[in-house]
Amino acid sequence: MSKNNSKVISRRGFLQGSAMAIGATTVGGLMPTSFAIGGTSKVRVGILLPYSGTYAMLGNSITDAFKLRVGIAGGMIAGREVEYIPIDSEMSVPKAPQNTKKLVDKEKVDFLVGPVHSGIAAVMAKLVGPREGPIMIVPNAGSNAVTGPLCADNIFRTSFSNWQPAFPGGKVMADDGHKTAITISWKYGAGIQMMAAGKSSFEQNGGKVIKDIQVPFPDVEFQANLSEIAAAKPDAVFAFFSGGGAVKFVKDYAAAGLKDKIPLYGPGFLTEGVSKAQGAAAEGIKTTLHYSGDLDNPANHAFRKAYNEAYGKMPNVFSVQGYDAAELIIKALTQVGGDTGATGDLIKAMSGAEFPDSPRGPWRMSAAHNPIQDIYLREVHDGKQKLLGVAAKDLEDPAEGCNMA
Nearer to ligand BEZ, 116 or 128 (CB): 116
Cα 338 to chain centroid distance, Å, stands at 26
For residues 255 to 294, the per-residue mask of contacts with ligand BEZ, x marking binding by CB under 6 A and - elsewhere, is --------------x-------------------------
Instruction: Pick out residues in 164-203 that bind ligand BEZ (CB under 6 A).
Output: 190
Interface with ligand BEZ by CB under 6 A: which range of 30-38, 134-142, 288-296, 351-359? 134-142
Separation between Cα atoms, residue 160 and residue 169, nearest integer Å? 14
CA gap 256, 112 in Å, rounded = 43
Interactions with ligand BEZ, residue window 213-252 (CB under 6 A)? 242
Q: Is residue 116 part of the contact set for ligand BEZ (CB under 6 A)?
A: yes
Map residues 309-348 to x or -, x wherever contact with ligand BEZ holds by CB under 6 A. ----------------------------------------
Q: Which residues, 6+ apart, have CB-to-CB distance to 290 below 8 Å? A: 159, 160, 164, 165, 268, 317, 360, 363, 371, 373, 374, 375, 376
Among 45, 68, 128, 141, binds ligand BEZ (CB under 6 A): 141
Q: At closest approach, how far in Å is the CB of 270 from ligand BEZ? A: 10
Q: Which of 44, 117, 360, 369 binds ligand BEZ (CB under 6 A)?
A: 117
Q: Which of 67, 160, 68, 163 lies closest to 116 in space, CA to CA?
A: 160
Specify the length of the chain in residues. 405
First-last CA distance in the chain = 38
CA 61 to chain centre: 10
Q: Judged by CB, which is closer to ligand BEZ: 35, or 249?
A: 249
Instruction: Rank residues 142 and 198 by Cβ distance to ligand BEZ and give the closer one.
Output: 142
Q: Is the peptide bond before 115 cis (omega within 30 degrees of 0)?
A: yes
User: Which residue, 43 or 56, is less far from ligand BEZ as judged by CB?
Assistant: 56
Total site size for ligand BEZ, rule CB under 6 A:
11
In the complex with ligand BEZ, which residue's Cβ is closer, 190 or 320?
190
CB contact set of 382 (below 8 Å; sequence gap of 6+): 283
> CA 176 to CA 286: how far, in whole Å?
11
For residues 185 and 340, which CB has a smaller minimum distance to ligand BEZ in the complex?
Answer: 185
Q: Where are the beta strands (DSSP E) in 56-204?
A: 76-77, 80-88, 111-113, 135-138, 155-157, 180-186
Q: Tell me the closest approach of the beta carbon of residue 64 to ligand BEZ, in angstroms.
A: 17
Give min distance, CB of 189 to ligand BEZ, in A.
Answer: 6
CB nearer ligand BEZ, residue 271 or residue 358: 271
CB 290 within 8 A of CB 324: no
CA torsion sign for 107, 112, 117, 122 is positive
- Provide the 8-state DSSP code for 26: P
Instruction: Give me the residues that bind ligand BEZ (CB under 6 A), please.
Output: 58, 116-118, 140-143, 190, 242, 269
